[in-house]
Amino acid sequence: MPNTKQHLWLIIPPCADRDDWVASITAQATDAGFTVINSAAGANTAALGKTLTLSPDPEEARKAGVQAKDVAVLLSTSGPLSAKLDADNDPAPRHTAVKIASDFIRRGYAFFPDRVFKAEDFSGTSIKLFPGFSLLGPTSTSTSNRNRALKEALSIYAADHAFWGSEVFDINAKDVRHNKEEVALDLTGRPRFLIFGPYIVMPAGRWKAVARIGFSAPTARHQYRADWGAQDTYTSHHFRPEREGVFQVEIEYEWDKPSASEFRLLLLEGAFDGEVTFFGVEIVRVG
């Protein structure tokens, strides 16, 4: 006899193609006999037979007391930013969006570690998420370099290490040149933060940031400070390269609770010429 009473939850954290996923899931779930509910509507499911509740936040399912077997967390390949946020010249809304999306993904791995599904796992075939419900993903859409880099950066929750490419950081320079996974910036100007971001929420624990930074001969003469940690408290490293070349800067910081992260590179004195090349940061859990 078919199961006529199921109350399932499907978590889709914010992503560039979330609307496509919701539309595809709604159509397929309806065809399978489910009533699709938006968690924000707060509907009472007691009188309903088969329901599929959609939410961006795993915390909602946890607070509702839903068993892990009745929850699936779906991670898109498109990255966390909508096209509007990705193109916005004001970085503040983008930073907030990265914080929110990353925290929801972190919660998914923390609360339902065995129920996380990656969109690339579908590969054009349906995946059985629950008894009586298999899902075929929508057609994938192109995404920006920043979103692709953020998607890779957010793999930190699955593997306790990830590469944060230059595209996930903000760069403060008059002349900036992107080349694959590196960015070259003109150092000319006053003392300032050259590189900062990406505000991904880190799980509690000790994490090491290993940054690779290249300095031309003129820029190697100046003094710099690198920061790694939370936004208000962090570990700093002061240095002066003193010669041209690529250097590796390693800094550790311990989070006592989950919070947004920031890696920063600060120029401590004015510069008249020269170029700094930023190759990104490797993040790894060390305790």
* Calpha distance 176→84 (Å, rounded): 22
Instruction: Tell me which residues of the chain have a pLDDT lower than 70.
Output: 1-4, 41-48
> Residue 285: what pLDDT?
98
Beta-strand relationship, 35-38 and 50-55: parallel
Structure tokens at 196: 């900062």
What domains can you pick out in the chain, each with its CATH number? 6-135 (3.40.50), 161-285 (2.60.120.260)
Nearest residue to 102 (alpha-carbon basis) of 14, 178, 164, 219: 14
Nearest residue to 214 (alpha-carbon basis) of 195, 237, 189: 195
Nearest residue to 118 (alpha-carbon basis) of 96, 99, 140, 98: 140
Q: Which helix (H) or strand (E) segment is 105 a member of?
A: helix 91-111
Query: Under a CB-based contact definition with an 8 Å cutoff, are residues 195 and 171 in contact?
Result: yes
Instruction: Mention every residue, 6+ apart, whose C-beta is less than 8 A from residue 186.
Output: 173, 174, 175, 176, 274, 275
Q: Which helix (H) or strand (E) segment is 101 a member of?
A: helix 91-111
Query: Under a CB-based contact definition with an 8 Å cutoff, are residues 101 and 80 in contact?
Result: yes
The CA-atom distances, in angstroms, between 278 and each of 81, 121, 150, 154, 266 are 23, 32, 16, 20, 13
Assign 3-class secondary structure to 212-276: EEEECCCHHHCCEEEEEEECCCEEEEEECCCCCEEEEEEEEEEECCCEEEEEEEEECCCECCCEE
Query: Under a CB-based contact definition with an 8 Å cutoff, are residues 106 and 201 in contact?
Result: yes
Question: Which tens digits make up the pLDDT trace of 58-83?
Answer: 999 999 999 999 999 999 999 999 99
Question: Which tens digits make up the pLDDT trace of 175-201?
Answer: 899 887 899 999 999 999 999 999 999
For residue 178, report the phi and psi dihedrals to the nearest 5 degrees.
Answer: -95, 135
Structure tokens at 147: 């979103």
Residues in the chain: 287
* Calpha distance 192→232 (Å, rounded): 17
